[in-house]
Amino acid sequence: MEKISTSNMKHPKEIAFTILMVSWVMLFASLFLSYALLRFKEVNWPPMGFESVSMLWPGLSTIFILISSFTLHRFSTFFNLKSEKEAKINLYTTIVLGIAFLVSQKMLWSHMNDVGLVVSSGTFSSILHGFTWVHAAHIVMGICALFFLLNFNKYFSNNDYKLRIKHISQFWHFLGIVWILMFLTMFLF
């Protein structure tokens, strides 16, 4: 009877996380597809009213998400170097930047409503609002996950905790990449 090697087998949490990531990629890919279909169907671009949207809030959102990815990376680096104080500072900074991202999104939605781009004003506006709402909901999930990393003192040498850091970081960086793509396609081009 042949012996099965367990060294190449994935941890069940790795498999579950991969399935979750694939489903999130599919969700955002379908949102990008709906946006692309609208974009290439329209004769005039940007749609009427959109040119009056300020780049301030999407720009700030971009800065917040980029810096938060950097501080989360530093958290995992300092955690692996057993530097608890630096790790905590970077984790707290990541959480604050995530909340700042959500505040900037709220300000973006308020600004869009002020210039007449409300959800009911057309397909473009409803896709823009819906896309940013779905992304913001995932940011809320990411912030909640980051809070699970706060009590790392008792887990400092736990491999399961390191796996948690890896998965939460990958999810957070994924959300950063999605926002960058949204910013480039919806607000710049």
**Residue 5 is assigned to a structural domain of this protein:** no
Confidence grade of residue 157 (pLDDT, cut at 50, 70, 90): low
**Residue 147 is assigned to a structural domain of this protein:** yes
pLDDT digits (tens, 9 = 90+) for 81-102: 778 888 889 999 999 999 999 9
Percent of the chain with pLDDT over 90: 56
Domain that holds residue 181: 13-42+56-188
- In three state form, how does the secondary structure of 2-70 look? CCCCCCCCCCHHHHHHHHHHHHHHHHHHHHHHHHHHHHHHCCCCCCCCHHHCCCHHHHHHHHHHHHHHH
**Residue 136 is assigned to a structural domain of this protein:** yes
**Residue 4 is assigned to a structural domain of this protein:** no
Residue-level length of the chain: 189
pLDDT digits (tens, 9 = 90+) for 42-74: 887 777 667 668 899 999 999 999 999 999 999
Q: pTM for the full model?
A: 0.88
**Residue 47 is assigned to a structural domain of this protein:** no
Q: Hey, how many other C-beta atoms are within 10 angstroms of the C-beta on 17?
A: 19
pLDDT confidence of residue 156 = 59
- CATH number for the domain spanning 78: value is 1.20.120.80
Which of 76-85, 110-119, 170-179 holds the top average pLDDT? 170-179
pLDDT digits (tens, 9 = 90+) for 101-144: 999 999 999 999 998 888 888 888 888 899 999 999 999 999 99
User: Among 16-25, 65-74, 158-167, where is mean pLDDT lowest?
Assistant: 158-167
DSSP notation for 133-188: HHHHHHHHHHHHHHHTTS--GGGTT-HHHHHHHHHHHHHHHHHHHHHHHHIIIIII
**Residue 73 is assigned to a structural domain of this protein:** yes
Q: Taking the CA atoms of 125, 131, 137 and 140 in sequence, report the sign of the dihedral they define.
A: negative
Count how many domains the chain has: 1
